[in-house]
Amino acid sequence: MSKNKFTAKEKRILSITLGIWGTFLVISGLIMNTQMKPIIQTNYRLKIERKKVELAQGKTNEIKLKDIEIEINTPISVNIKDYLEDSSIITEETIKKLKLDTSRVNINEANTYQYTITYGKEKYIGNIKVKQKELPNITITLKEINLTIGESLSSNPRAFIQEDITDEVFNNLTLDLSKVKQNVAGTYEYYITYKGISYQQKIIVKEPGPTIITPKDNEELNCPKDSTKENETCICQNGQYDKEKNECKLENS
């Protein structure tokens, strides 16, 4: 087989061409290296300067969570900074990467719940205490109750309190009539409790008195002779008026 051979002229042209390409590549590499080096150095300097600023400002990126208290039925915040013990030591870049989860918190029921904040693979846990609404402070004055055997005794706390009270207060009152014997004459104590404070007063149960007969509604009272009618009763001129017999009786009769 015959082999192709370059002539001296062709070899010289090829050598010149390769030399030109080599020179071009070397120059291009130098130019690129010169252009990239300032960029790398600039980014490095920016990171160093930012770190210096963060340290000067006390930015440690240390994440600590608060224990939070709210009243029942109060909406909870969605701002992550409200859950951080000190957001001023955390960079804004870090705060943007934090994820808040309050899905376990039931604001409609008093209890202590956990919430979490996640940063990358790290998870931080805090507490949210949902407490009952603070009740108003009020003055309570109880009535002294007089009761006759056979009468019914109310179980409504409002019937025993002199002041007007709101429904909010009423719903948090406890009435205790356990020591009262309605069918036995005597003096008893009853209690009403509000916000852990117990108030005490008397209920006096009496024997029923004598039966008094009075005219029925719209019924005319006819007094006996020798008597006059005054204030729906009869006044005898001589002797005492007997309501049951509707007559005047002399003292020795």
Q: What's residue 79's pLDDT?
A: 95
User: 227, 234 in Cβ contact below 8 A?
Assistant: yes
* pLDDT of 218 strictly over 50: no
CA neighbor of 104 nearest in space, from 116, 120, 118, 117: 116
* pLDDT of 78 strictly over 80: yes
Q: What's residue 114's pLDDT?
A: 97
pTM of this structure: 0.43
Q: Tell me the mean pLDDT in the region 88-97.
A: 93
CA distances from 146 to 123, 152, 203 (A): 66, 11, 6
Report the distance separating Cα 55 and Cα 158, nearest Å: 65
CA distances from 51 to 22, 41, 44, 202 (A): 43, 15, 11, 76
User: 238, 249 in Cβ contact below 8 A?
Assistant: no
Give 129-181 pLDDT, tens digit per residue: 999 888 999 999 999 999 999 899 999 999 999 999 999 999 999 999 999 99
Q: Tell me the mean pLDDT in the region 100-125.
A: 95
* pLDDT of 77 strictly over 80: yes
Q: What's residue 44's pLDDT?
A: 58
Band (46; pLDDT cuts 50, 70, 90): low
Q: Tell me the mean pLDDT in the region 190-212.
A: 89
CA distances from 130 to 65, 171, 201 (A): 17, 20, 36
Enter the tokens of residue 247: 């007559």
Report the distance separating Cα 151 and Cα 177, nearest Å: 15
Q: What's residue 1's pLDDT?
A: 45
Burial grade of 3 (CB within 10 A; 0-12, 13-18, 19 or more): exposed
Report the distance separating Cα 229 and Cα 212, nearest Å: 17
* pLDDT of 56 strictly over 60: no
Q: Tell me the mean pLDDT in the region 103-125.
A: 95
Q: Which of 22-31, 178-187, 194-203 has the lowest mean pLDDT?
A: 22-31
- Return the higher-pLDDT residue of 188 and 31: 188
What CATH number matches the domain at 68-131, 2.40.10, 1.10.357, 2.60.40, 1.20.1440? 2.60.40
Band (201; pLDDT cuts 50, 70, 90): very high
* Class (C level, CATH) for 145-206: mainly beta
- Return the higher-pLDDT residue of 30 and 225: 225
Q: What is the DSSP letter of 178?
A: T
Express as a percent the part of the chain with pLDDT over 90: 54
Enter the tokens of residue 228: 């006059």
Pairing of strands 122-131, 68-71: parallel
For tokens 């002041």, the residue is: 163
CA distances from 139 to 133, 197, 198 (A): 19, 11, 12
Q: Which helix (H) or strand (E) holds 54?
A: helix 8-56
- Return the higher-pLDDT residue of 43 and 8: 8
